[in-house]
Structure formats: C-alpha cells, structure tokens
Amino acid sequence: MKVGRPKAQIPRDKAITIRLTNFEFQKISRVAKQKNLTKTDAILQGIDLLEKNKPQRIANVKELLKKRGIHFDDDDD
C-alpha cells in the first residue's frame, strides 16, 4: 500500500518562471499569507480580477507601461 499525498483531480503540471524584485516577491507573499492562500492561488485570483475588469485594467496597465517607456503592439486586446 502506498502512502502519500492524494493526486489532484486537476494536476498543476505546467510551470512558469518569472523574475521578481524582492519587493514584488514580498508583496505576493504578504498578500497570500493575509488571504490564507498559496502564492499560486493569490496570483491566479489576481488574474481572475484582471479578466473581470479587463478593459479598465488593461488600460491601467498600458498607461503604467507607457509611463515607464515600454511600448507594445496592442491590437490583441
């Protein structure tokens, strides 16, 4: 008989690696801890919020990027 963690119904078998500043990492960690979430779940909930408010959120992100001098092709809104 094998003992261990049960397999997830929907396994998370894909990975994304991102580079963060210490401040960004601490911010994600703090929010996840405050909300009693894993860092992954905190990030996914943030993405869900972006999708719910996509037009306004995208406009805000684009404005922030433009202020930082980052320009991009935005035909895929």
pLDDT of the chain, 77 residues: tens digit per residue: 677 878 878 888 899 999 999 999 999 999 999 999 999 999 999 988 887 876 776 777 788 888 888 776 654 44
Give pLDDT, residue 77.
45
Give pLDDT, residue 66.
84
| Amino acid (one-letter) located at 53 | N
Give pLDDT, residue 54.
67
Residues 62, 74 contacting (CB under 8 angstroms):
yes
Query: Which residues have CB under 8 Å from 42's CB, separation 6+?
Result: 28, 31, 32, 35
Give pLDDT, residue 21.
95
